[in-house]
Amino acid sequence: MDIETFIANFEFLGDWDQRYAYITELGSRLPPMDDALKTEAHRVQGCMSKVWVTGERHQTDPHLVHLQAAGEGPIVQGLVALLVMIYQDRTPEEIAGIDIDEMFERLGLDEHLSPNRHIGMYAMVRMIQDIANRVAARS
């Protein structure tokens, strides 16, 4: 599923209980991250929950960044999956150009996430951007 399909489905849902359930469902579909990658080097600093993000050049297109990520807890895993959906398999330039604030506003997350989750989401975004910058520097 792409982010535009997710947003269309998300907007169709009536209340935030349904929306959180949809985010949780998205998280359950995130490919599992190998436990060997769940290291302090890949851990997102600034998240209250444990979240890991790593990335590398895409195997078939070296211009793209391919991410792997995981989070503890169903909602956190869903939010991680949402960010992976937004940033997955894009060029470093595309990643840098994404207006994440606008994306959060479209989804209503700017109003419905706790302050701690907001901080964690932005910490994940910064880590993804750092990964993209490292991939770009190696090109």
Q: What is the pTM of this model?
A: 0.93
Note the pLDDT tens digit of each residue in 106-134. Answer: 999 989 988 999 999 999 999 999 999 99
Note the pLDDT tens digit of each residue in 40-53. Answer: 999 999 888 999 99
* 47 included as an active-site residue: yes
Catalytic residue among 30, 47, 81, 82: 47
Note the pLDDT tens digit of each residue in 56-78. Answer: 999 999 899 999 999 999 999 99
Number of independent structural domains in the chain: 1
Mean pLDDT calculated for residue range 85-114: 94
- Residue 19, domain CATH: 3.90.1010.10
> Which residues constitute the domain of residue 96?
3-138
CA distance 12 to 5: 11
Q: Which secondary-structure segment (H or E) carries 4? A: helix 3-12
Yes or no: say if 72 and 113 are a contact pair by the CB < 8 Å rule.
no
Residue 35 three-state SS: helix
31 — pLDDT class (breaks 50, 70, 90):
very high
CA distance 64 to 136: 9
